[in-house]
Amino acid sequence: MTLEQEIAKRRTFGIVSHPDAGKTTLTEKLLLFGGAIQKAGAVKSSKIKDHARSDWMEIEKQRGISVATSVMGFNYKDIKINLLDTPGHQDFAEDTYRTLTAVDSVIMVVDCVKGVESQTEKLMEVCRMRNTPVICFINKLDREGQDPFDLLDEIEAKLAIKVRPLSWPINMGKGFKGVYSLYEKSLKLFTPSKTTIAESVEIGDINDPEVERLVGENNAKQLRADVELIEGVYPDFNVDDYLQGKVAPVFFGSAVNNFGVKELLDTFIKIAPPPIDRETSVREIKPEETKFSGFIFKIHANMDPKHRNRIAFLRVCSGKFERGTNYYHVRQNKEIRFSNATAFMAQDRETVDEAWPGDIVGLYDTGNLKIGDTLTNGEKLMYTGIPSFSPEIFKEVINKDAMKTKQLEKGLLQLMEEGVAQLFTYDLGKRKVVGVVGALQFEVIQFRLKNEYNATAEFMHQGIYKACWISSKDERKLAEFIDSKQRHIARDKDNKLVFMAESRAWLQMVQDNFPDISFHFTSEFKA
């Protein structure tokens, strides 16, 4: 198969949502259709041993939430699908933001009862930054939810994107009968089941009396009125508008009952983009270029508790990746060889000898790779747009066991390189402060330090408003600033200078007093 053919058969996407919208359940049903798993796990209960397939970390099993991005590959109708299931919890949003740099499109899950929630809005902002194509799946139709038209209006208003329903629910909650596919002109009848696939009835004409027999007279009348309104209000679905991120096609269903998922998947493989062009510091890279290139968007240590290893997640962007080949590590300016490369099915892994644009490859690493690193066939370029945001909560690390200082430092370093949180070390006193987006991250760090590194730490709250990366075109002015604000100067894990501002008002005053200093609220992981 040629490079172009390999690219054409690949779809790499992320699933995003607010917590509890049913994202992990939808992920499992997609895997069921792809034959990647044989039965769905239990998502929310810590009492059930058969946990959700994509939630593999011990703390995820205990809490019933996803805290790390899982990568899963499977085949469906001759299409190779690379699925990235992201954390829904807002405390782990930064991992999701970085993951969105590695996908070509997104499926966004919305709870029909709760509608658009705050985390969904934030995630949509990240998608809009790159004009990422978005498909919306409105979930939990087996529950009494909001009016479907109200949900569409809410999505357009809160997410600032036009929508076009491609399926439409027939009632909901206890009276839910199924959906009418506006895309295929067929009726999908609902039967509560976690394993079977919905019965599909081809309807050439929505006015066919057969509709009454199948869903009842009142439901048939309402469906016809709704479809007439949809066709009158919403323009015909345009695939190009979707690919440009201008319109989001909308599907309705119930992931837990395996309903509406197949229609979503069938349409997805038809309209979702294959691997796309990507920006670098030098030029735009096209996937069909013969020379290999790719970037690291995630690092995870200790995926297998029996083997203390570290895996870097590589998104292949162009050419062909081959195991055992020497590749150029741009940041370190040296050749590096990977004799072990893996493909993922959540925690399970299998060795791969080659990979193509769109594929996600796991590289066993001893500490050479960092998030944002670029690997090429020799060209000096860096993939851009992998940010580190200024944290919102800061706490000092307190070592509770002086005999385990080395273990603590190693654990902190590895967890920070995974992107779990950010570590700032003050120039004065070498105090270590961890910055996170949400408080739950401290619990994860503490848990993993103890279980993976046998180190015990506590965290003491710090009155810090913002961590600002600083730079200046005038080296002398920068040195003067550092000298005058020495108590508030720290360095991140990459040794970049950071100013730790204690309040918004004070930061504004400092900015006014030092106009030659640039204050940055996001950091690009560049060389």
Rounded Cα distance, 66 and 21, in Å: 12
Q: pLDDT tens, 96-107?
A: 777 888 999 999
Rounded percentage of the chain residues whose pLDDT exceeds 70: 85
Q: Considering the chain, what is the average pLDDT of its residues? A: 83
* Domain assignment of residue 142, yes or no: yes
Rounded Cα distance, 66 and 82, in Å: 18
Q: Answer whether residue 28 shows pLDDT above 90.
A: no
> Both tokens of residue 32?
């069921």
- Quickly state the pLDDT bin for 193 (edges 50, 70, 90): low
Please say which residue of 343, 376, 409 terminates a domain: 376
Per-residue confidence (pLDDT) for residue 42, from 0 to 100: 32
Q: Are residues 349 and 369 in the same domain?
A: yes
Cβ 396 vs Cβ 361: under 8 Å: no
Q: Are residues 411 and 499 in the same domain?
A: yes
Q: Answer whether residue 503 shows pLDDT above 70.
A: yes
**Domain total in the chain:** 3
Nearest Cα residue to 12 out of 287, 284, 253: 287
Dihedral Cα 406, 410, 412, 418, nearest 10 deg: 180
> Both tokens of residue 225?
């009125």
Region of poorest pLDDT, from 120-129, 131-140, 370-379: 120-129
Half-sphere exposure of 473 (CA within 13 A, CB side): 2
- Quickly state the pLDDT bin for 68 (edges 50, 70, 90): very low
Q: pLDDT tens, 145-170?
A: 899 999 999 999 999 899 999 999 99
Q: pLDDT tens, 394-439?
A: 999 999 998 999 999 988 988 887 777 889 999 888 899 999 877 7
Residue 408: in which H helix or E strand, if any?
helix 405-418
Q: Answer whether residue 94 shows pLDDT above 80.
A: no
The DSSP bridge pattern shows strands 341-345 and 348-351 to be antiparallel
Cβ 138 vs Cβ 155: under 8 Å: no
Rounded Cα distance, 466 and 104, in Å: 32
Q: What residues make up the domain containing 363?
A: 278-376
Q: pLDDT tens, 459-500?
A: 999 999 999 999 999 999 999 999 999 999 999 888 899 999
Per-residue confidence (pLDDT) for residue 299, from 0 to 100: 81
Contacts of 73 (CB under 8 A, 6+ apart): 36, 80, 81, 82, 83, 343, 344, 345, 359, 360
Long-range contacts of 508-516 (CB under 8 A, 24+ apart): 510/485, 514/477, 514/481, 516/472, 516/473, 516/474, 516/477, 516/478
Rounded Cα distance, 152 and 163, in Å: 7
Q: Are residues 290 and 255 in the same domain?
A: no
* Domain assignment of residue 71, yes or no: yes
Per-residue confidence (pLDDT) for residue 440, from 0 to 100: 77
> Both tokens of residue 257?
């009952």
Region of poorest pLDDT, from 7-21, 65-79, 83-97, 467-481: 83-97
Q: Are residues 401 and 519 in the same domain?
A: yes
* Domain assignment of residue 381, yes or no: no
Region of poorest pLDDT, from 135-149, 252-266, 377-391, 423-437: 377-391
Looking up tokens 């996803």, which residue turns up?
Answer: 66
* Domain assignment of residue 382, yes or no: no
* Domain assignment of residue 200, yes or no: yes
Per-residue confidence (pLDDT) for residue 348, from 0 to 100: 57
* Domain assignment of residue 144, yes or no: yes
50 vs 409: which has the higher pLDDT:
409
526 vs 187: which has the higher pLDDT:
187
Q: Are residues 148 and 291 in the same domain?
A: no
The reported pTM is 0.76
Q: Are residues 426 and 363 in the same domain?
A: no
Q: Are residues 238 and 299 in the same domain?
A: no
Dihedral Cα 87, 91, 94, 96, nearest 10 deg: 20
* DSSP tag of 259: B
When pLDDT is averaged across residues 26-40 and rounded to a whole number, the result is: 73
When pLDDT is averaged across residues 236-254 and rounded to a whole number, the result is: 93
- Quickly state the pLDDT bin for 362 (edges 50, 70, 90): confident
Per-residue confidence (pLDDT) for residue 344, from 0 to 100: 67
Q: Answer whether residue 58 shows pLDDT above 60.
A: no
Rounded percentage of the chain residues whose pLDDT exceeds 90: 44
Q: Are residues 84 and 187 in the same domain?
A: yes
- Quickly state the pLDDT bin for 252 (edges 50, 70, 90): very high
Please say which residue of 255, 271, 287 terminates a domain: 271
**CATH code at 363?**
3.40.50.300
Per-residue confidence (pLDDT) for residue 347, from 0 to 100: 47
Per-residue confidence (pLDDT) for residue 345, from 0 to 100: 58
> Both tokens of residue 46?
């810590």
- Quickly state the pLDDT bin for 179 (edges 50, 70, 90): confident
Looking up tokens 């199948």, which residue turns up?
Answer: 214
Q: Are residues 392 and 371 in the same domain?
A: no
**CATH code at 406?**
3.30.70.3280
Q: Answer whether residue 175 shows pLDDT above 90.
A: no
139 vs 302: which has the higher pLDDT:
139
When pLDDT is averaged across residues 295-306 and rounded to a whole number, the result is: 70
- CA distance readout (Å), 471 to 294, 429, 514: 28, 22, 11
Please say which residue of 236, 271, 306 terminates a domain: 271
Per-residue confidence (pLDDT) for residue 342, from 0 to 100: 80
Rounded Cα distance, 281 and 489, in Å: 29
> Both tokens of residue 470?
């600083």
* Domain assignment of residue 68, yes or no: yes
Q: Answer whether residue 64 shows pLDDT above 50.
A: no
CA 98, 101, 107, 111 torsion: positive or negative? positive
Neighbours of 436 (CB within 10 A): 22
Cβ 416 vs Cβ 494: under 8 Å: no
Q: Are residues 265 and 283 in the same domain?
A: no
Q: Are residues 122 and 239 in the same domain?
A: yes
Contacts of 78 (CB under 8 A, 6+ apart): 9
* Domain assignment of residue 448, yes or no: yes
Task: Determine what percent of the chain falls in helix, strand and coil, rounding each to the nearest 5.
Answer: 30, 30, 40
- CA distance readout (Å), 24 to 12, 85, 202, 219, 437: 17, 7, 30, 31, 22
Q: Are residues 454 and 482 in the same domain?
A: yes
Region of poorest pLDDT, from 43-52, 162-171, 301-310: 43-52
Q: What are φ and ψ of residue 12, in 5° steps?
A: -120, 115
Burial of 64 (0-12, 13-18, 19+ CB in 10 A): middle
Per-residue confidence (pLDDT) for residue 71, from 0 to 100: 78
